[in-house]
Amino acid sequence: MGAFALLALLLASVGLYGVLSYAVTQRTSEIGVRMALGATSREVLLTFGKRGLVLTVAGLAIGLALSTVASRFLNALLFGFRPDLVPIITVVSLILLGVAALASLAPARRASRIDPVIALRSE
């Protein structure tokens, strides 16, 4: 069971990295314009880092709601089923947030290091 959990964590982090990397690639000219108009590397880094964490928190909220519904369904279906999900969900959510922050960092750093002149010439 632990191997499947690690595989799911790996797939989630690779998926988040892919989405953010694609967003950086698509918005290269916009990032170049922002940096040419005075945006600092830190501001660009925070913009893309925040985007990845917002996606993660939204996914966690949806997953929490679905797990609560599934837990109540199992309580009604199975006699004596009393899951203690609060500590498990807390630890897993914190681990997922940490992995998502790391997965968001690479594309965000790449976006913050874009040279405005090269980005504006790419169109």
Instruction: Extract the tokens encoding 26.
Output: 């698509």
Question: Which H, E and C letters describe the chain, residue by residue?
Answer: CHHHHHHHHHHHHHHHHHHHHHHHHHCHHHHHHHHHCCCCHHHHHHHHHHHHHHHHHHHHHHHHHHHHHHHHHHHHHCCCCCCCHHHHHHHHHHHHHHHHHHHHHHHHHHHHCCCHHHHHHCC
The pLDDT score that the predictor gives to residue 3 is 87
The pLDDT score that the predictor gives to residue 123 is 63
Q: What's the CA gap between 55 and 62, in Å, rounded?
A: 11
Condensed to tens digits (0 to 9), the pLDDT of residues 69-96 reads 888 888 878 877 777 777 888 888 888 8
Mean pLDDT, rounded, for 9-31: 83
Q: Is the pLDDT of residue 121 over 70?
A: yes
Instruction: Extract the tokens encoding 40.
Output: 């600092």
Condensed to tens digits (0 to 9), the pLDDT of residues 27-85 reads 888 888 888 888 888 988 888 888 888 888 998 899 888 988 888 888 878 877 777 77
Q: Is the pLDDT of residue 119 over 70?
A: yes
Q: What's the CA gap between 53 and 97, in Å, rounded?
A: 7
pLDDT range class, residue 19, cuts 50, 70, 90: confident
31-46: buried (b, 16+ CB within 10 Å) or exposed (e) per residue?
bbebbeeebeeeebbe
Which pTM does this prediction carry? 0.72
